[in-house]
Amino acid sequence: MRDDDYPPIEAYGVVGNLETCALVAPDGSVDWFPFPHLESPSIFAAVLDAERGGRFRIAPTDSFETDRRYVDDTNVLETSFRTDGGTATVTDFLPPAGRTDHPKKVLYRKLACDEGRVDLAVDLEPRFDYARAETTVESEQRGALAEGRDERTLLESPIDLEIEDDRVTGELSLETGDEEWFLLRCTGAEDANTDPEAALEESLEYWSDWAHDCGADGDCVFEGAWHDRVVRSELVLKLLTHAESGAIAAAPTTSLPEDIGGVRNWDYRFNWLRDAGFTVQALMNLGTADEATAYFEWFMDLCQADDPAAIQPLYGLHGESDLEERELEHFEGYRGSSPVRIGNEAADQRQHDTYGELLLAVDEMHRHGRELDPDEWDRIRDIVDYVREIWDEPDAGIWEVRGGDEHFVYSKVMCWVALDRGIALATDGGYDAPVGEWRETCERIRADVLENGYDEDVGAFVQSYGSNALDATGLLLPIVGFLPFGDDRIRETIDAIEETLVEDGVFVQRYDGDDGLPGEEGAFVLCSCWFVDALALSGRVAEAQSRFETLLEYLNPLGLIAEEIDPESGAHLGNFPQAFSHIGIVNSALYLGYLRGHEAPGPAPMGIRLGEPVGLPSESSDRRY
């Protein structure tokens, strides 16, 4: 394995059909494509093993330079190759599921010569079931048919193809104005009627019609130099949203490393319920109420169990609960980063913060006018009652440490949030609940955290009881309303985090304690957004804006960002693109826009109405009981 066998993580673009996604490298190679769904086994996985994983590449035969862009406000990707002889563009997309009349199980690749003459090579190496299934390839009238154990693909080609073993190759020359289409028809779409040009036009129309619109008055809370970055983040979130269930994947990939050559490689093709509160806030303020509602109703359905203890931290995008973690030992991993994992054993952990995040989302939807029916309220009441029972027990925490359960401060605070929002919902909505008992427990948790979670010697809220480690989740305590931003303990915590966890003014580590795993990791993009939010809501708006703009410089040229950034090199680390990173960008832009005088389309964001920001009147906080 050589590093140059693997493009940088940030070099990739992503396309998808609201059921699955494909990563496209700058050299025109589709290096990752699970099928038929995001969490399904891969057809191409060169991003995880350059030799064994499989790919579908279309690129010039001569040396070239690359420019890439998304067609404005869409998820249709254009890769332009410049050679000495001319320029050609490859346009990649899959029709959004259920949104056009064209089959969603076809990867369309349009080749067009913009200038001069360009010779191109086609190289198809399918490797079904993470390259575990035996692959057979044979000629077919329209191109080449590849079959594995359960899946197959038909490459519909305008040129003659050569087949050697399980590899398909071909070459073609294009001159100015020439256009050709290659269609990778996956299982179920081999014989579907297709009109490539119409599929492209309808896909472009769908995405552009769906993307954020500032409205007729032109006043947008996201106004600023970052507006286009916010729209791209919105389009990423939509791309990661499953059309059928409404669930939003944390990322479209598995096992892209947080530490090159290390073991911190996880499968993120699932939905973490902890993302719910801030996700709903982002979606509602972007004006995508349908997506927010679908996501809300999806995770509410997951809470139907009579026993709230059965609620998992994460689920498959169809609600699957069995996410057994396994290792693909035959894959070397991205740049030798092994193991390559599928599934995620964090689904079996106790993560008490999850309940608070669920209640944040319920409260956010309620504030936007979504009433709870009696059955939904019964589920919420059961969750809040359960939190009363378990809040003082240790858990694995938001960061899913594998070194043993502890009394994490953030988990305690989020248990407080579950009760706090439960009381507010019951009071506002007139729902039946033991509000007096809930309030008593809420006050007990608060007192416990203030006594054991804040360390006088450290001068900050720490990661866990008895620890002196700092944790970036301390930045969220005022945003969720636990204490106001003007509280000395909050100011001291922000200062301590800035001194200890922040590098170069914008890169924020998650924590500085032991997590039971070897190796290091990069700065966590979402934590950088939390830091921006905390600065802005503490009255340091100009400073927050400057740091936010610096962070945005690390988005790739397509506007995409991974889970983490290496502060030394600026390289992206972890799974890509990361939903939580893009959610953080949307919410940071929301806070900055609000504090700069723009109105949000709905209620004030939670950090405004609950955190009592410095510089805003106290009436901005609407504690409701």
Please classify residue 188 by burial: count the beta carbons closer than 10 Å to its beta carbon, then call 0-12 exposed, 13-18 middle and 19+ buried: middle
Phi then psi dihedrals of residue 583, to 5 deg:
-65, -40
Task: Say if residue 110 is in the same domain as residue 249.
Answer: no
Which amino acid is present at 40? S
The residue behind tokens 């995001």 is: 38
Question: Over the stretch 28-54, which tens digit does the pLDDT of each residue have?
Answer: 999 999 999 999 999 999 999 999 999
* Average pLDDT for 7-36: 98
Residue 547, in any domain of the structure: yes
Are 160 and 169 contacting, i.e. CB atoms less than 8 angstroms apart?
no
pTM (two decimals)? 0.96
Task: Say if residue 134 is in the same domain as residue 250.
Answer: no
Question: Is residue 306 over pLDDT 70?
Answer: no
- Give 455's strand partners: 460
- Give the count of alpha carbons within 13 A of 205, CB side only: 9
What is the distance, to the nearest Å, from the Cα of residue 170 to the centroid of all Cα atoms in its chain? 36
Task: Say if residue 404 is in the same domain as residue 532.
Answer: yes
- What integer pLDDT is reported at residue 216 of this predicted model? 52
Question: Over the stretch 158-174, which tens digit does the pLDDT of each residue have?
Answer: 999 999 989 999 999 99
CATH number assigned to the domain comprising residue 128: 2.70.98.10
Residue 201, in any domain of the structure: no
Are 432 and 474 contacting, i.e. CB atoms less than 8 angstroms apart?
no
Phi then psi dihedrals of residue 155, to 5 deg:
-85, 110
Residue 225, in any domain of the structure: no
Helix, strand, or coil (residue 117): strand
Which of 123, 571, 34 has its CA nearest to residue 328? Answer: 34
- Contacts of residue 191, Cβ cutoff 8 Å, sequence gap at least 6: none
Question: Over the stretch 420-464, which tens digit does the pLDDT of each residue have?
Answer: 999 999 999 999 999 999 999 999 999 999 999 999 999 999 999
Considering only the C-alpha atoms of the chain, give the largest distance between any 2 of them, rounded to a whole number of Å. Answer: 77
Residue 343, in any domain of the structure: yes
Q: How many domains does the chain have?
A: 2
Residue 223, in any domain of the structure: no
Model confidence band, residue 619 (pLDDT cutoffs 50, 70, 90) = very low
CATH number assigned to the domain comprising residue 340: 1.50.10.10
Are 337 and 48 contacting, i.e. CB atoms less than 8 angstroms apart?
no
* Average pLDDT for 396-410: 90
Residue 215, in any domain of the structure: no
Residue 207, in any domain of the structure: no
Are 31 and 47 contacting, i.e. CB atoms less than 8 angstroms apart?
yes
Instruction: Give me the domain span that covers residue 50.
Output: 3-194
- What integer pLDDT is reported at residue 400 of this predicted model? 87
